[in-house]
Amino acid sequence: MNNKILKLTASAIAICAAAPVFADALTIYTALEEEEVAIYLDAAKTAMPDLEIDVLRLSTGKLGARLLAEAGNPQADVIWGWAVTAMMDPQVLELMAPVEIAGTETLAPEFRDADGRWFAQIGYMGAFCVNTARLADKGLTMPTSWADLAAPEFKDEILMPDPNESGTGYLHVNAVLQALGVEEGWKLLDSVHPNMAQYTSSGSKPCKSARTGEYTVGISLAFTAMQSIEEGYPLAMVFPSEGVGYELEASGVLASSDQKDEAKRFLDWTMSDGAISLFRKHKALVTVAGGEASEAAANAGLPADISTVLAPVDFVESAGRQNEIKAEWREKFGR
């Protein structure tokens, strides 16, 4: 997905090609999906009509590269909804300010930094997006596991995000390795690799390509699967039996920001009841206690207790080993 700046104005949300950020606005970098950003910003504007916000949307990997490249001359005020495994990079944590965001004290310790540099009230989880019409046309059996995707019949029928460019790609690879163990995990990924038609830079593209019938299976996001099913596409959301990868989406304030009050105000809003209610409509994973899954999630087949399908992910390990895992993946499967 191309980089986008979403500028919140008095009348509407304008979306334009990436350009220099606006001097007097609160500048936010995010890796949230573009469709989500537009929805959330519309609600933020209603709640805070006097606050001008510019949002630059980047993939997980590109956001990290930009942050580090700008370390000597920071451009952003806020990081909003970025993979916690990326946020926990020591080079990134050095750039973050300890800030008390209202409501984060209610989050479990594993969903916030002890020093207040980040918190994660939302997250995302993976899923297989299976086009049921194409599946039937080709006489294929519904896959219920990664192992099923290794069947020869799925040759060139699968899309997956590249873990070196997409946080979604990394969460899938990381989940397989943590659930099965490194040796067995790589063996399984190696067995599926010959059937891959393409590795993408976008986490949502595999699902979007599958829903339109270009491919049978898109290894992608539960959010995109739920949205696609709600919109009427012939799609099934499948959680692999080996365990589903998931990621927390962390937020925080850059230490270099000269608009920390405005930054705190925005992040306080993201923890408000109104924002959390909105997140529950669009996110498969909300870490704030209480509440019910959305109707769209239930209709798409998201279990009431998602812990029953999640892989046993250790985020400290995820963060500490990501460079090693990405390098090995590139060596094995890079195209």
3-state secondary structure 3-64: CEEEEECCCCEEEEECCCCCCCCEEEEECCCHHHHHHHHHHHHHHCCCCCEEEEECCHHHHH
| Measured distance CA(141)–CA(138) in Å, rounded | 9
What letter represents residue 203's amino acid? G
Q: Is the CB of residue 61 less than 8 Å from the CB of residue 165? A: yes
- The beta strand positions in 179-289, using DSSP E, are 196-200, 217-221, 235-238, 246-254, 285-286
Instruction: Look at residue 282 in the predicted model and tell me its pLDDT.
Output: 83
Structure tokens at 5: 């700046």
* Residues 6 or more apart whose Cβ sits within 8 Å of residue 324: none
| Measured distance CA(71)–CA(312) in Å, rounded | 34
Q: Is the CB of residue 40 less than 8 Å from the CB of residue 275? A: yes
Q: Which domains does the chain have, with CATH numbers?
A: 4-123+247-292 (3.40.190.10), 124-245+300-333 (3.40.190.10)
| Measured distance CA(226)–CA(228) in Å, rounded | 5
pLDDT by 10s per residue, the chain, length 335: 334 444 443 222 333 334 444 447 999 999 998 888 999 999 999 999 999 999 999 988 899 999 999 998 999 999 999 999 899 999 999 999 999 999 999 998 989 999 999 999 999 899 999 999 999 999 999 999 999 999 999 999 999 999 998 889 999 999 999 999 999 999 999 999 999 999 999 999 999 999 999 999 999 999 899 999 999 999 999 999 999 999 999 999 999 999 999 999 999 999 999 999 999 888 888 999 887 767 777 788 888 788 889 999 888 888 889 899 999 999 999 86
- The CB-side HSE value for 235 (13 A sphere, CA atoms) comes to 34
What letter represents residue 220's amino acid? S
What backbone torsions phi and psi does residue 116 show, to the nearest 5 degrees?
75, 20
- For residues 13, 14, 16 and 22, what is the CA-based torsion angle, rounded to 10 degrees? -80
Angle, vertex CA 96, rays to CA 104 and CA 70, nearest 5: 140
Instruction: Look at residue 335 in the predicted model and tell me its pLDDT.
Output: 65
Counting every residue written for the chain, the total comes to 335
Instruction: Look at residue 18 in the predicted model and tell me its pLDDT.
Output: 41
What letter represents residue 135's amino acid? L
Strand partners, 129: 218, 237
| Measured distance CA(104)–CA(220) in Å, rounded | 29
Residue 306, by phi and psi: left (phi above 0), alpha (psi -120 to 50) or beta?
alpha
User: Positive or negative, the Cα torsion across 276, 277, 282, 283?
Assistant: positive
